[in-house]
Amino acid sequence: MKIHEYQAKKLFKDYGISVPESVLCDNKPDIQSCIEKIGVPCVIKAQVHSGARGKSGGVKVAKTLEEALKYANQILGMTLVSSQAGEKVVNKILIEQAVNIEKEIYMSLVFDRSKEGISYILASQGGMEIEELAKTNPEKIISSLIGEEFNPEVNKLGFSYEISEQIENILKKLYKMFVERDLTLAEINPLAITKEGRVIALDAKVNVDDNALFRQSEISEMRDITEENPLETKAHEYNLNYIKLDGTIGCMVNGAGLAMATMDIIKQAGKSAANFLDVGGGASSEKIAKAFEILLSDKEVKGIFINIFGGILRCDFLAEGITEAMKTQSVDMPVIVRLEGTNKVIGAEILNKSGLKFKVVNSLSEAIEVLRGL
């Protein structure tokens, strides 16, 4: 789960990582009083789940009160279009004290599955061009897996002793937070070194492990569903494992392994999956009807492939669920069904007798043929 910058900065503060003074504003009548609380110069920042806000007009530095009012009114309510997250409406802005930046550096911690641990990443050239630096001068980026003795090699960045010590302290605090709060990503870009010689986090990006939310109640409450894909939110409500993808074939499967195999089959037919959807082992016909509704409401979907291996989930339950869902919705796309396992004959009968248009296939190779023709 992602959280907003202002929420991440709250966590930073709790762990003793310095951040600028700020106030959050979510409505236009409050803008002026919020700016007056912070004073000028200040920075107006769109609070949306996206990076690269600076490049899309979502971060502006204001020197005077007039400028601050103008930028705040522009940014609050705007539709931010970024390279990272597409279109996002800005419902909240952070008004933050500006600092005198001497240098912007980069710091992050990531949960690195391939190395089976947490890695830290540091670069003396941070800011908005960090991706560019990674492409052109990867040797300038310091990265290392955190071992038992955590001695970050901050001195490699080439700063004075006083600055290096502050950077190292921040990295250690960030690491403590990362572990205690079950994070998968904690990024500070830029981490600013000020003209006065302080090191302060100007941006904060934090992702939390969804599977740990049950024991992270404070973070769990930071969830902002307006930032999430509405279909994923709906699926979450019904306990369905659903992830939106960018293909055109909606698929419904029981079991993650079967879901992966099904996506391969769709690829073999020259198409790609519009989603990953695992209805799970003991799904009721009601849950299946909900899953089917989600597939139908995805505008990218041009055809649906239901591939079920009936074990705990009986094929007749599944058949009832989808016929029920199809009766209440207008379905104007092909629905291909492959049933195998418990009660597959009864399931196929329910589908065939429903008077609705299903294409029941008997094998995966037949499914590939039909999918190819879509």
Catalytic residues: 106, 187
Q: Does 316 bind Mn ion (CB under 5 A)?
A: no
- 361: which residues sit within 8 A by CB, 6+ positions away? 336, 337, 338, 367, 370
85 binds, among ligand GDP, Mn ion, none (CB under 5 to 8 A by kind): none
53 binds, among Mn ion, ligand GDP, none (CB under 5 to 8 A by kind): ligand GDP
Instruction: Please give the Cα distance from 190 to 204 (Å, whole number).
Output: 8
Q: Which residue has the tokens 């202002």?
A: 6
The angle formed by the CA atoms of residues 316, 288 and 323, to the nearest 5 degrees, is 60
Which of 72, 199, 203, 259 binds ligand GDP (CB under 6 A)? It is 203
Q: Does 183 bind ligand GDP (CB under 6 A)?
A: no
Which of 93, 177, 190, 325 binds ligand GDP (CB under 6 A)? It is 190
Q: How far is the CB of 120 from ligand GDP (least distance, A)?
A: 19
Q: How far is the CB of 276 from ligand GDP (least distance, A)?
A: 28
227 binds, among ligand GDP, Mn ion, none (CB under 5 to 8 A by kind): none
Q: Does 35 bind ligand GDP (CB under 6 A)?
A: no
Q: Does 364 bind ligand GDP (CB under 6 A)?
A: no
Indicate the SS3 state at residue 282. coil
Q: How far is the CB of 112 from Mn ion (least distance, A)?
A: 21
Instruction: Please give the Cα distance from 38 to 365 (Å, whole number).
Output: 65
Could you tell me where the DSSP H helices lie in 214-313? Answer: 217-220, 230-237, 256-268, 285-296
Residue type, 57: G
Indicate the SS3 state at residue 216. coil
Q: How far is the CB of 136 from Mn ion (least distance, A)?
A: 19
Q: Does 24 bind ligand GDP (CB under 6 A)?
A: no
How many residues lie near ligand GDP (CB under 6 A)? 19
In 3D space, the residue among 223, 296, 267, 317 whose CA is nearest the CA of residue 277 turns out to be 296
- Residues in 166-195 at the binding interface with Mn ion, rule: CB under 5 A: 189
Q: Which long-range contacts (CB under 8 A, 24 or more apart) does 122-131 make?
A: 122/152, 122/154, 122/156, 122/157, 122/167, 122/171, 123/157, 124/157, 124/158, 124/159, 126/189, 126/190, 126/191, 127/189, 127/190, 128/52, 128/54, 128/55, 130/106, 130/189
Q: Which residue lies nearer to ligand GDP by CB, 205 or 344?
A: 205
Q: Does 203 bind Mn ion (CB under 5 A)?
A: yes
Q: Does 287 bind ligand GDP (CB under 6 A)?
A: no
Q: Which residue lies nearer to Mn ion by CB, 205 or 271?
A: 205
Q: How far is the CB of 144 from ligand GDP (least distance, A)?
A: 23
In 3D space, the residue among 271, 269, 270, 288 whose CA is nearest the CA of residue 279 turns out to be 288
Which of 2, 9, 49, 53 binds ligand GDP (CB under 6 A)? It is 53
Among left, alpha and beta (phi > 0; psi -120 to 50; other), residue 181 is alpha
CB 201 within 8 A of CB 12: yes
- Residues in 96-115 at the binding interface with ligand GDP, rule: CB under 6 A: 98-99, 101, 104
252 DSSP β-pair partners: 306
Question: Residue 129 has what DSSP assignment?
Answer: T
99 binds, among Mn ion, ligand GDP, none (CB under 5 to 8 A by kind): ligand GDP
Q: Which residue lies nearer to ligand GDP by CB, 93 or 253?
A: 93
Question: Which residues are near Mn ion by CB under 5 A?
Answer: 189, 203
Which residues would be at the binding site for ligand GDP (CB under 6 A)? 20, 43, 45, 51-54, 59, 61, 98-99, 101, 104, 127-128, 189-190, 202-203
